[in-house]
Each structure stands twice: as structure tokens, then as C-alpha cells.
Structure 1
Amino acid sequence: MSALDPMPGVVTTDDPEARRALRRLLLGGVIGSLVEFYEFSVYAVLATTLAAVFFPSVDPTTGLLSALAVFAVAFFARPLGGFVWGAVGDRIGRRGTLALTVLLMSVATTLMGLLPGYAAIGVAAPILLVLLRFVQGVSAGGEISGAVSFVAEHAPTHRRGLFVGMISVGSVVGTLLGSLLPGILLLTLSTADMQSWGWRIPLLVALPLGLIGLFIRRRLDETPFFLALREEAGRAANPVRAALSGRSARRLLVVAFCLVAVNASSFYMIVGYLPSFATKSLKLTGLEAFAPSLIALAACLVAEVAGAWISDRVGRKPVLLTSGLGLLVLAYPSFLLITSGTFGLIACGLVLFGLLAGAYAAVINAALTEQFPTRVRVSGHGITYNLSVALFGGSAPYLLTWLGGVTGSTMVGAFYVILLALVSLPAVLALRETAGRPLRS
């Protein structure tokens, strides 16, 4: 079998039973992304409340920065997860990795919901919060790469972009759920009740979500690509080292790292920055304070489905180039609208930004995972994606909140996206087009 031969055993869509099997496999891949982003979004929306619970002895701005710094901890832990779980996924299998990562993420989040606050155990409270966020990050670092590889290796070649794109859709759905539940609690409970017990509820919901994900994933089949690799004794002894070995491999890793930069900055700004930006800079209160993130996420959702579908027809690179150029040119006008003070114009700016960010996010994972051969696919995706997200995504809420406070400017988000679009667009041009082609086995 050549390195680009179609893989026997890949699920097709020729009969009803095959379609049902493919839906089960797709659900198994998507559920972890939904759980991951639900948990991360809950923390982002509750950042102001958590600042009061775990950092009560400092002023509100410093407390918020402390809470956002803890938010970033999970992202800086992601690269470690990418290395560890990448090696596990490429050596032991995709299926087992997915079951473990969704369980660990949910257990860590549930334990966060059970933590005593600073008033009860003092400095131990924020220390334990940091440790649990670290566990969340390590788990999430393996989740995305394992899920993307799993779905890509099961999907029909001509629909792989759409199927892998559904993982990004799952992240948006998880973010919406993770924004709505704490948002409703913040609107209906008093500040005292939220700081006393209300903040725990969304975190504890992670446990049943994780158990559902574990139940689904334990019943999935291993991918035909990995099974063939194992039968042929083709697994790398050290997948991480194999992914980093050779000049062409290192060049690919650099291209992939840069490719993710603008995706990480734009998407995690929506998830982690807009909730606090809406209250501190836009001076929105009540229901309006949650509207910016929800509007941008709704636009993201539409663009991700459309962008993934289109990428199977015109290719990955045209969609990435169009959306990346759009972010470069239109990020500043979008933020002018977002900071206009008129809710209708704010909504227009958010829709424009969300559509562009969503279209790029729809294609990034398919384009990335298709670059790597089966023996290092999880490791290659995990190393590049998680390093880029840690550097450009996880730091965004803290960095932009700090820069906004130092400069007094409400446009720092636009400049950040423009800068990283300039990093990503050359990588798109250097990318090998893979749409409609068999995976490298």
C-alpha cells in the first residue's frame, strides 16, 4: 500500500447503516470538544465572580487580572498535554486517548466546583484552583488533537473537511452553553448568592457531561488508519521525536504553528476577552453584557458550517486565505463598530468579526491534521496547535485586558488580530493543499 492509498475500512456514506455508523463516530469526536469549551467558557464568564471568591484581598481590577492569569494557566499547560497525549494517541490509539481526556477534563472541572474559597482556606484556595486549571489544560491539549485525528481517519475523503469542521462547531456549541448557564445565574442571583454558591453550579454540570462523553467514546471503534499502522508494525517508537526529526518535518511544524496564530487570537478573544470587555470597557450591564459573546458565537457557528462545507469543494487554502485576509483588513473596522456605543452597530461589528473568525476556524483543523502522516498525526497536530494556542490564545484575555488598562485604548483587540493575521497568512501560502486527497498513511 502506498502512502497515499485510500484506507480500507474508512466509513463511507453508501448505505443507511454506514451513515448511522458515521454519525456515531462524529458524535464521539465532537462531544469532547463541546465539553472542553463548555468548561473553559464557564470559567471565562465567571471570571469576575471567581476573582471575588479566590482573590478577595486585592482591588477589583487586580483581582480580575489574577483570575484571567489563572484562566491562562490551562492554556500554558496545553503544550505538555499535546506532547504527552500525542505520544499516547500515536502509540496506543486514538480511541483510548479520547476516553481518558474527556474524563480528566470533567473531573478537574467538577473538583473546581467543590473548592472552598479564600475565606475558608486562605491562600490554599487559589493554589488548588491553579492546579486544577493545569490538569484541565493538560487534558485539553490531548483532546483536540486526538478528536481531529479520530474523525479525519474515519471520514470519507470527499467530506473530510465538513466532518472535521464539526469539531469546531462542537466547540462553539460548548461555548454557547458555557456562556448561557452562568450568564443566566448572574442575571437571576444576587451578587452575594453568586459568590456564595451560585458559581459552583455551572462547574458541577461538567461531571454529567463528561460521563456522557465517556459513555459514547468507550463504544467507538478504533480508526482503520491506526489499526493498519499497528498491524504493519509501523508505529514510531517515539512519535514526538519522529514528528520533530528532519528538516522537512521541522519546516512543517513551523508552518503549522504560524497557521494557527490568527485562529487562536480571534476565537479566544470571543471566548475569553469579550465577556469582561463588555462590562469594563463597553459599560454594558445585565443581559446586554452577555450579548457580545453570544452574537459573535452565533455568527461563528454559521460560518464554521459553511466554511467547512465549502472547503471540501474549493479547497482548504482558498477558505483560509479569504477569511485570513478578511481578519487582516476588517478587524479594525469591526472593533470601531463594536466600540461605537450603539448596540445595533456593536452587533454588526460582532457579526462581521464572528463570521471571519468562524470561517477560518472551520478549516484550520482539517488543513492541519491532513499535513501529517498517520504515525505522528496526533503528535504533529498536538505540538503545533497547542503551542500556538498557548502563546496567542490563552494569553489574549490577560494581555488585552492589561494593555487596555495601560493604554486606555479599546482597540487593542483589533491590533492584536491584525498582527497575528500577518503571521498566519504566509503560512497559508506555504501550506500543501489536501482537500479531496487521501490521508497520508
Structure 2
Amino acid sequence: MYKRKIKPLEIDDVEIIDYDKTKKAIKAAALGNAIEWFDFGVYGYVAYVLGKVFFPNSSPSIQMIAALATFSIPFIFRPLGGLFFGFLGDKYGRQKILAITIIIMSVSTFGIGLIPSYETIGIWAPILLLIVKIAQGFSVGGEYAGAAIFVAEYSPDRKRGFMGSWLDFGSILGFVVGAGVVSLITFAVGEAAFIDWGWRIPFYLALPLGLIGLYLRHSLDETPTFQAHSEEQSQLKKPQKVGFKQILRDHRRSLLVCVGLVLCTNVTYYMLLTYLPSYFSHNLGYSENHGVLIIIAVMVGMLFVQPFVGMLSDKIGRRPFVFAGSIALIILSYPAFLLLGTNNVYLIFLGLLMLALSLNMLIGIMASTLPALFPTEIRYSALAIAFNISVVIAGLTPTITATLVETTQNIMVPAYYLVICGGFGVITAIYLKETANLPLKGAKPMAVDTEEAEELLEQYHDNIEQKIEKIDQKIEELQEKRDHLAKQHPDID
């Protein structure tokens, strides 16, 4: 790896961010994320219909598991998409790749609505569904990592948590809109018509949403951080190239922390937003709309909590929220699922609220924490790889949970699953280094104005002094040990 020529950091080295561009970046990134989760919301709520349309010859239990499996299998292809788009994003820029991923993602989601039923084309129906979901999974492999990086590299250091929280605000909003659209269409056309043709309409909506997202992303400039990195690379005789093996060797801890945080967050996400609708109707025997409307209400509440968590993390740090969210999963998951089975609307709402708040604490800081783990030159590729490896495991949550519940006939299996997930979260929090209010690795400090730039510079210098003091203290300790050992040897002074 090349070594940069280091000079003292001065006030002119602090990047002053154009706040209007930051807002546009957030809108463009959040809309793409909203489309991704719009599909997840729709798919989760029409899984029972897709089972009947594409797997009509199976029992209701097998239909549901098969539909959820079709949701989960494409996750295996996400690391390939992450690897492909990640390295392109580090080479050619974040903006270009995000424009490509949103096209593939919206077109593939739209394509689900075009696939004929099993009765029309036989076995080709589920095969085409799987192919379209694989294409979708491949594009999504580069979507979230790129969007999180795009927002992080456009955000001032002291507001990165708040800015990043809007990315997953888009996730929750996309899910709520998807679930709401399904409920609205079901109510408007009736259950029979929805199963016959109405389920296709929500998937058609992904195309116009994707075109809007493409327009927003295409109109944005490349991030200031990547532009500065590109200029630095252009001045070198031999531009830096970092291979996959080097990333694994030099950034193992950051990769593992990324995997742990994403795993804990997304298992909870998929359990709450994708699996529970089918769990309510199939395992608890509630009507299709009974649990759906309650989940939508809880998700709307999460929308208001999300930015608050991000903003608060800029004040007290990201680690406290990872600890709090993970411990909440360990303590609250079992009682929450007991409440879900009471058939009492208020108690079901309380149970969902407990799970949702646990999720909010984790997802509220994820988009600001993950990009800060890696330096600019490998940020996209390293994050995309680690993120999507975790998502492969997390994406199997609905299928594994449904299968375990059917096999064991124990409806508390999802609670045990989340308790284990919370344990991984606590371990991750222990190894996570605090990133709040600090510059991104390999990037200049970023501020909204000159006054904040001066404060950041002072804080940056104080941080360096603290690190030097710790190093000096360590040197003194090592020197004492060296002297102690030297005294025991006749030939060493």
C-alpha cells in the first residue's frame, strides 16, 4: 500500500459541505432504499398469494415456505452484486453505480408483476419468479452500501448520524407504503380479485418510482470525499490498487464488526417486517388484515423515532445504541412474542412496539456507522462485501423461522431466534470503536460552516494529542519492561 505525504491539518483542509447538496443526496439515496423495501413490504404481505399463484399444488404450509424461500434464495446472489458493484464504485465513483443499481432494481421489481401464473405457463412461472428475484438481489447487493456511503460522504462529521438515519427512514417508509398499498388494493378490489390479479399492481408501481430515483441520482455530483480521493490518485505515478485479499488481511476487525451489526439489525428487520405478516395469519390464525394494520401503525411510529435516534447518536455516540438495542432484544423478545399471541389488539401492539424500538436503536445508527469503518479507497467494496455476506444469513430468517415453527410446532421459535441475534449484537458493540463526530477514515474533516470547521479542527488536534499521550505512556511501560529484562542479562546495558 502506498504511503501519503503527511502534512499538518489546517483550517483550509476542512471540507465545508454544501448543505443543499447534502439534502439532495439524502433524498436520492433514501428513495432507492425505499424502492428496495417497498418490494420487501409488498412481497412479505402477498407471500400467501404468491404461494397460491406460483405453487398451487402444495399445501398451505408448503406454499408459504416456498414463497418465502423465493424471497430468501436471491440473497445468496447479493454478495456477488456487492463484490461487482463495490469494486466499480471504488474505481469509478458512487454516483454512477447508484444510478445503475436503481435501474436494475426497479425494472426487476416491475417484472414480478408481469409473470404469468402457474396455471398459465406451468413450471416456468416459479422459475421466472426466481430469475427476476435473483436479478433484483444482484442489484440490491450494491444498493444499500453505496447509498449509505453516498450519504456519509456528503454529511458533516457532527451530523452524520442524523443524516444517515434518513436512509433507513426511507427503508421503513418504503415498507409502510408497500404494506399500505397491498391493504388498500385488497380492500378496494376484494380478496378474490386481489388473488386473481390485484397483487400485481404494487409491483408495477416500482417502475415510476425508479425513474424518479434515477433522475434524482443522475442530477447529483460525485461525493466530495471521493472527488478528493480521485484527485489524489491522479497525482500518483502508479494509482493505488487494493485487492480482496489485502482487504481481508488489513481490515479484518472492521469487516467482522460490520458483519455483526448488519446481522443483528437485519435479522430483526426481516423477522418483524417480512415474516410476522405470515406468522400472524398462518400460525396465530388471525385474519389477513388483523396483524397487518397493527404492524403498519407501529412502522409509522418507527418513522418518527428513526431521525431522533440518529440525531441523539451524534451527541452520545453510536456504541450506546448498539448495546441498548441488542440487550433489548435479549430481554424483550420472549415477552413480546407472548403478547403477540394474546389475540388482544392492544397487547399485540405493545409486543410489536417492544420489537420495533429494539430495531430502531440498531437501524437508526447503521447507515452512519458502517461507512466509517473503512477508508475511502476501499469503502464501497469492503462495505458491500461484508454487508451482503451478513444479509445472506439474515435474509434466510423468514424461511428458517417458518420451517422451524412448522417442524417443532413451537410458536415461540422466533423469540429464541431474536435472543440469539441480540447476543451477537452485544459482542459486536464490545468490539466497535466509536465513530461519532470523527472524520471518515482517509477523509478530511467535514463541517457546515467556518465556525464549525474551527471547532472540528480543534477537536481533531485534541484527539491526536490524546492518542500521542497513550502511545507515550505505552512507550514508557515498554521501556520499563525492557530495562527490567536488561538488568537480568550481563551483556545488555
TM over 0.5: yes
**How far, CA to CA, are the matches of 2:161 and 2:209 in structure 1?**
26
5+ unaligned residues in a row in structure 1: which ranges?
13-17
Find out whether 1:237 has 2:241 as its counterpart: yes
Distance in 2 separating the partners of 1:220 and 1:231? 19
Q: How many residues align?
A: 433
Q: CA distance change for structure 1 residues 198 and 9 in 2, over 3 Å: closer, same or farther?
A: farther
Structure ID, larger Rg: 2
Distance across 1 between alignment mates of 2:67 and 2:244: 33
Aligned match of 2:202: 202
Deviates more, 1:406-415 or 1:279-288: 279-288
Return closer, same or farther for 1:127/1:11 CA change in 2, 3 Å cut-off: farther
Q: Distance in 1 between matches of 2:246 and 2:187?
A: 51
CA distance in 1, matches of 2:100, 2:326: 34
Contact 2:242 2:378 in 1 (8 A): no
Paired amino acid for 2:36: E
Cα-to-partner distance string for 1:162-214 (whole Å, 9 max, x where unaligned): 11111111100000011111122223333432232111100000000000000
Paired with 1:221 and 1:118, the residues of 2 have a C-alpha distance of: 45
Map Cα deviations across residues 230-268 of structure 1 (whole Å, 9 max, x no partner): 11217653554442233xx12321222112222011111
Deviating more after overlay: 404-413 vs 166-175: 404-413
Equivalent residue, structure 1, for 2:129: 129
Aligned twin of 2:425:
424
Distance 1:407 1:173 in 2: 34
Deviation at 1:2, TM superposition (A): 5.2
Q: Corresponding residue for 1:295?
A: 297
- The SS at the match of 1:114 is coil
Contact 1:299 1:355 in 2 (8 A): no
Q: Is the CA contact 1:86–1:239 (under 8 Å) kept in the aligned structure 2? A: no
- Closer, same or farther: CA 63–80 of 1 in aligned 2, 3 Å: same
Q: CA deviation at 1:286?
A: 4.8
CA contact (8 A) 2:102 2:143 kept: yes
**Offset of residue 154 of structure 1:** 0.7
Greater mean alpha carbon deviation, residues 108-117 or residues 281-290 = 281-290
TM-score by length of 1: 0.94
1:356 aligned partner: 358
**Is the CA contact (8 Å cut-off) linking 1:11 and 1:22 kept in structure 2?**
no
- Secondary structure at the counterpart of residue 222 of structure 2: coil
- Whether 2:398 is the aligned partner of 1:394: answer no
Aligned residue number for residue 86 of structure 2: 86
Secondary structure at the aligned position of 2:373 is classed as coil
Percent identity, aligned pairs only?
Answer: 34
Q: Distance in 2 between matches of 1:127 and 1:433?
A: 45
Distance in 1, Cα, partners of 2:252 & 2:76: 21
**Segment drifting more, 382-391 vs 87-96:** 382-391
**Alignment counterpart, residue 279 of structure 2, candidates 256, 277, 280:** 277
State the distance in 1 between where 2:298 and 2:12 align: 38
What's the CA shift for 1:226? Answer: 1.0
User: Aligned with 2:370: secondary structure?
Assistant: helix
Q: Which residue of 1 aligns with 2:178?
A: 178
Task: Name which of 310, 314, 329 aligns with 2:316.
Answer: 314
Question: How many angstroms apart in 2 are the aligned matches of 1:197 and 1:2?
Answer: 63
Distance of 2:14 and 2:86 partners within structure 1: 23
Write out per-residue CA displacement over residues 385-427 of structure 1, whole angstroms, 9 at most, x where no aligned residue: 1111210x21111111111112222211111011011112111
Q: Compared with structure 1, are the counterparts of its residues 319 and 397 closer, same or farther at alpha carbon in structure 2 (3 Å cutoff)?
A: same
Structure 2: 5+ residue runs without aligned partners?
Answer: 443-493
Contact 1:87/1:238 (<8 A) preserved = no
Q: CA RMSD in A?
A: 1.9
Matched, 1:324 2:326: yes
Cα gap change, 1:8/1:181 in structure 2, threshold over 3 Å: closer, same or farther? farther
CA shift in 2, pair 1:10/1:336, >3 Å: farther
- Which of the numbers 369, 372, 375 marks the counterpart of 2:371? 369
Tell me what 1:15 maps to: none
- 1:86 is displaced (CA, Å) by 0.8
Bigger mean CA deviation after superposition, 165-174 or 397-406? 397-406
Matched letter for residue 31 of structure 2: I
Select between 250-259 and 54-63 the one with higher mean Cα deviation.
Answer: 250-259
- Asked whether the 8 Å contact 2:281–2:288 carries over to 1, the reply is no
Aligned partner of residue 245 in structure 1, secondary structure: helix
Q: Show CA shifts across 1:85-116 (max 9, x none).
A: 11111111000011011110001111111111
Q: State the Cα distance separating 1:9 from its structure 2 match.
A: 8.2
Classify the secondary structure of the residue corresponding to 2:435.
coil
CA contact (8 A) 2:328 2:422 kept: no
Instruction: Specify the alignment match of 1:25 in structure 2.
Output: 25
Matched with 1:413 is: 414
Work out whether residues 325 and 361 of structure 2, in 8 Å CA contact, stay in contact via their aligned partners in 1.
Answer: yes
Moved more, 228-237 or 150-159: 228-237
For the structure 1 residues 3 and 395, does the alpha-carbon distance in structure 2 shift closer, same or farther, using more than 3 Å as the test?
farther
C-alpha contact 1:31 1:213 (8 A) present in aligned 2: yes
